[in-house]
């Protein structure tokens, strides 16, 4: 097997993970594909060291996360301003709500795939200012402090944005929290 063939197989094994990481952060298929391409081009440059490394998955995920954040930071001044407007609009009109009752009896009737698709949609519809810290916290397992450092914002803002993001998801998915 040539180096190129080996790399192609390697890519096929990890492409979904890399693309998902970028897509969750960017919420844009074209941009996520561009970032995924950049990640694999970087991986190709270090393929000799990477292909038999046990930490390759983590390396790819970290690079995908960092490149996605770099991509967002290029447009941060624009999106942070307008994302706030988008949030207020959505909150005012409530048009972004998805019909998704989550009580246990109804939940059983729903197809799991459909449920996950709805959660994915709701996540993508969140403004970047809320979606990015939420994804970094829940899916990438970063601590609040690490998120604040990566995004270059205050710890308080990270906590507030994550809370707002969770609340928006809860409302959009019409989740009912069980009584304690």
Partner 1 sequence: MNPDYDKRLEAEISRELKALPELAAPATLVNRVMTTIEQRARVPWYRRSWQMWPVALQAAALVVLLALFGGLCLAGWELSQARATTLALYKAGEWFSGLGVIINTFGVLANAVLLAVEKLGTGFIVACLVAVALGYALCVGLGTVYFRLALAKQRELNL
**Interface stretch with partner 1, choices 52-60, 63-71, 82-90, 148-156 (CB under 8 A):** 82-90
Contact between 126 and 90 (Cβ < 8 Å): no
CA 149 – CA 151 distance, rounded (Å): 6
Cβ burial, residue 113 (10 Å; 0-12/13-18/19+)? exposed
**Interface stretch with partner 1, choices 53-61, 66-74, 145-153, 170-178 (CB under 8 A):** 170-178
Nearer to partner 1, 141 or 152 (CB): 141
And the tokens for 94? 């409530």
And the tokens for 25? 């952060």
Binding site for partner 1 (CB under 8 A): 4, 7-8, 11-12, 15-20, 23-24, 29, 33, 36-37, 40-41, 44-45, 82, 85-86, 89, 93, 95, 116, 119-120, 123, 134-135, 138-139, 163, 166-167, 169-170, 173, 175, 177-178, 180
């Amino acid at each position: 097997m040539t180096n190129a063939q080996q790399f192609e197989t390697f890519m096929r094994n990890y492409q979904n993970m890399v693309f998902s990481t970028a897509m969750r952060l960017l919420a844009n298929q074209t941009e996520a594909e561009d970032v995924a391409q950049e990640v694999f081009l970087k991986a190709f440059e270090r393929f000799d060291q990477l292909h038999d490394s046990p930490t390759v998955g983590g390396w790819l995920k970290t690079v995908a996360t960092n490149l996605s954040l770099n991509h967002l930071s290029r447009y941060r001044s624009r999106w942070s301003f307008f994302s706030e407007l988008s949030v207020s609009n959505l909150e005012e009109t409530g048009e972004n709500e998805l019909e998704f009752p989550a009580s246990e009896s109804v939940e059983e009737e729903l197809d799991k795939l459909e449920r996950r698709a709805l959660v994915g949609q709701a996540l993508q519809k969140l403004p970047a200012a809320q979606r990015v810290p939420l994804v970094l916290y829940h899916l990438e397992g970063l601590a609040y402090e690490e998120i604040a450092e990566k995004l270059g914002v205050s710890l308080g803002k990270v906590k507030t944005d994550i809370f707002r993001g969770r609340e928006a998801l809860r409302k959009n998915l019409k989740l009912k929290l069980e009584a304690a």
